[in-house]
Amino acid sequence: MKIHEYQGKALLARYGVRVPRCLPATTVEEARAAAEKLLAETGGSVVVVKAQIHAGGRGKGKVHKGPNVVARGVEVCKGGADAARDAAWRILGGKLVTLQTGPEGRVVRTVLVEQGVAIARELYLGMLVDRDTRRVVCMASTEGGMDIEKVAEETPEKILKVWADPVTGLAAHQARWLGFQLGFTKDQTAKFVPLLGALYECFTREDCALLEVNPLIVTVDGELLCLDAKVSFDDNADFRHPSWAELRDPSEENATELKAKEAGLSYVALDGNIGCLVNGAGLAMATMDIIAHCGGSPANFLDVGGGATEEAVTRAFEIILESPQVKGIFVNIFGGIMKCDVIATGVINATRKLGLRVPLVVRLEGTNVDEGRKLLAESGLAITPASTMFDGAQKICALVRGT
């Protein structure tokens, strides 16, 4: 689960990490008032208006309104509160296209109005779980700013790494080593060590999957400040963080995935065109593999689970039927705890409601298989039965190719 920059910065601030003064705004007037407040409080003359979307690359990204490019995703405003108002007017409601959003872009609904800071150096800091070492890896680079992806690709040696011990945490000597490598003065290193410790504390306590500060800056006064914050949480830990519900922005999430989540289904949207309804994560993975093997491409991963009710199965099938990209459906069920007649009833219910506009291949095996097959046979639906998983995959791929 991703959160916005302004939420990430508020989280970091709670751990004692220094971030610039900033205020989120959802309307043009709010943005002007925020800028006025920040300018008065800081005595500065520059504010920065930043589009809040769940994707990076905003600084180089372009905000589109109709056929026109009206702003960048990050606008530096030197003309006081009125300039900030104007920037917010251009950005809000526009479609921001960055390297990370894809060409369709994202609609901007919130901006962050931030104190402009005088930057001496831009550095990169990031933390994530390294599966190879099973530790949190802390990465840093002197090449911070807007081209870090290029640095990682072309000169990976410029990304420094230290791995935190899961028991004792990130050690001060590791942070000092990084600080030295980053070329900090003694004074700056003394600030960097607790800053990195606080970030690590935040990462582990908040169950982050990714915590990225790009750039971490050195101001012209030699202070360290987190100028950007990209935080995403590990969804598997959401049961112990009720507060995440408030941080969620449904408009940034995949609508179908959200609907599936509400129905208690494990669903991941993919970019193919064969909808899959499967029980068990292992079988779901194998089904995607065999579809690919037969030359097709799955539209989703969907595990209805072992104990799914008729309603959940109905909901699952509705989600597949509603996806415009789906050109064929493969139901692949091995009934163990899940009963084949429950699946059949769910498929029939959903189809009665929404109709069936694409080919449907069904392979049922296991508990109550005869009842399930009978229900489907008597339903009047145009179903292509399959005897095995391979047979089913071949059939659905051929049908989709033919349509």
Query: Which residues are the active-site residues?
Result: 124, 212
* 295-320 b/e (C-beta count within 10 Å ≥ 16 → b): ebebbbbbbbbeebeeebbbbbbbbb
Residue 65 and residue 95 in contact, taking contact as beta carbons nearer than 8 Å = yes
Nearer to ligand ADP, 116 or 298 (CB): 116
Please name the residue that has the structure tokens 């993975």. 285
Interface ranges with ligand ADP (CB under 6 A): 20, 48, 50, 56-59, 74, 114-117, 119, 122, 145-146, 214-215, 227-228
- If the CB atoms of residues 81 and 226 are measured against Mg ion, the closer one turns out to be 226
Partner that binds at residue 122, options ligand ADP, Mg ion, none, CB closer than 5 to 8 Å by kind: ligand ADP
How, if at all, do strands 360-366 and 328-335 pair?
parallel
Closer by beta carbon to ligand ADP, 99 or else 255: 99
Helix (H) or strand (E) holding 197: helix 186-205
Residue with smaller CB distance to Mg ion, 228 or 318:
228
The token duo for 91 is 């950005």
Cα–Cα distance, 108 to 163 (Å, whole number): 36
Helix axes 172-181, 186-205, angle to 10 degrees: 130
Which residue number is nearest to Mg ion in terms of Cβ?
A: 228
Interacting residues with Mg ion (CB under 5 A): 214, 228
- Minimum separation from the CB atom of position 87 to ligand ADP (A): 13
Strand 274-278 and strand 328-335: the pairing is parallel
- Sheet (strand 383-385) strand order: 266-269, 300-303, 274-278, 328-335, 360-366, 383-385
Residue nearest to ligand ADP (CB): 59
Which of ligand ADP, Mg ion, none does residue 117 bind to, with CB < 5 to 8 Å depending on kind? ligand ADP
Minimum CB separation from ligand ADP for residue 184, in Å? 19
From the list Mg ion, ligand ADP, none, partner contacted by residue 145 (C-beta under 5 to 8 A by kind): ligand ADP
Closest distance to ligand ADP from the beta carbon of 212 (Å):
9
Sign of CA dihedral 319, 324, 325, 329: positive
Residue number with CB closer to ligand ADP (214 or 368): 214
Smallest separation, CB 340 to Mg ion (Å): 51
Q: How far is the CB of 379 from Mg ion (least distance, A)?
A: 54
Which residues in 336-402 belong to E strands, given as ranges?
A: 360-366, 383-385
Look at residue 114 and give the partner it binds from ligand ADP, Mg ion, none, a contact being a CB closer than 5 to 8 Å depending on partner kind. ligand ADP
